[in-house]
Amino acid sequence: MITNPGPITNQLEWLPVKREGIAFDLLGLPAGFDAYLKILHPIGVDRSIPITAYSFAKRTIADLNTRAAFWDKYGIANGKPEPSKLENVSYREIAASLGIAYNSEFNSETIQQFYGEWPPHLGSSIALEEAFVQQIIQILGPETETYFYGSVEEGTYHLDNDGLPVEWLQQGVASDLLEVYRRDSQLPTYLFAVDHSWCLYQGEWIDWVAVGCSAHVTHALMAHPSLEVFRLSPLD
């Protein structure tokens, strides 16, 4: 059960939270972990969409009409595929298809830069994201006592009784992350073990999860067959 541990006080003092006069680590994580990792969010592909036949041109009315016709034909809405048609695809497979190196620099921004905009055959879905969350939970330990923190500055705030954004801190166990995700439709800015043995950071402007953890958790994350994980240094 998720609970509110009271006013936000010393529970956050070890985090490099962006506050006036406090430096913010580039990874958004505290120092001292055995390893720092980057976990890519899941991505899906609608293989029924012939992306090689799609024109990214949009300079003329004719271009826009061609695009609209393509979207209508393949059920594309606002440039995104129908979530129910998506099947999980690895970034490794996408990188190979584009002829791009698959390394710690690769992410969804790389894909967008290659095409010039987001391609309409790739996307995500609630189902893919929830499966991702459940995989993370199993590795961290479902019953691990955990704090969840949402930041106003990072866009993961809650609204108070007056409709104003406020930061929040709640306590539960790691398995409660799925409830938090379903409630907020996003990950909290920070998710960390009460004993500080691991910490996850989801920055507002990055499409991957930064993790600081032990060697044991590192091995489990990197060995998971469905997760795409890269080692990082604090300077990345």
- Residue 65 pLDDT more than 50? yes
The pLDDT score that the predictor gives to residue 140 is: 96
Nearest to 2 by CA among 224, 181, 197: 181
Domain locations along the chain: 10-41+126-232, 44-123
pLDDT tens for 142-157 read 999 999 999 988 889 8
The pLDDT score that the predictor gives to residue 18 is: 52
- Residue 174 pLDDT more than 50? yes
- Residue 92 pLDDT more than 70? yes
Of 64-68, 102-106, 205-209, which range is least confident? 205-209
Strand order in the sheet with 122-123: 87-89, 43-45, 122-123
What number is the average pLDDT over the span 124-138? 97
Q: Both tokens of residue 18? A: 């962006």
The pLDDT score that the predictor gives to residue 28 is: 84
Q: What pTM was estimated for this model as a whole?
A: 0.89
What number is the average pLDDT over the span 26-41? 88
Q: How far is CA 214 from CA 117, 196, 198, 221, in A?
A: 37, 10, 7, 11
The pLDDT score that the predictor gives to residue 14 is: 78
What's the rounded Cα separation, in Å, for the pair 233 and 236? 6
What's the rounded Cα separation, in Å, for the pair 211 and 217? 10
DSSP state of 197: S
Higher per-residue confidence, 15 vs 83: 83
- Residue 220 pLDDT more than 60? yes
The per-residue pLDDT of the chain, averaged, comes to 90
Contact criterion met (CB below 8 Å) for 23 and 16: yes
What's the rounded Cα separation, in Å, for the pair 92 and 76? 24
Nearest to 192 by CA among 15, 3, 2, 38: 15
The pLDDT score that the predictor gives to residue 2 is: 73
Alpha carbon distance, N-terminus to C-terminus of the chain:
36
What number is the average pLDDT over the span 190-214? 92
What's the rounded Cα separation, in Å, for the pair 178 and 71? 33
The residue written with tokens 């190979």 in the block is 96
Contact criterion met (CB below 8 Å) for 17 and 203: no
The pLDDT score that the predictor gives to residue 13 is: 78
Contact criterion met (CB below 8 Å) for 169 and 12: yes
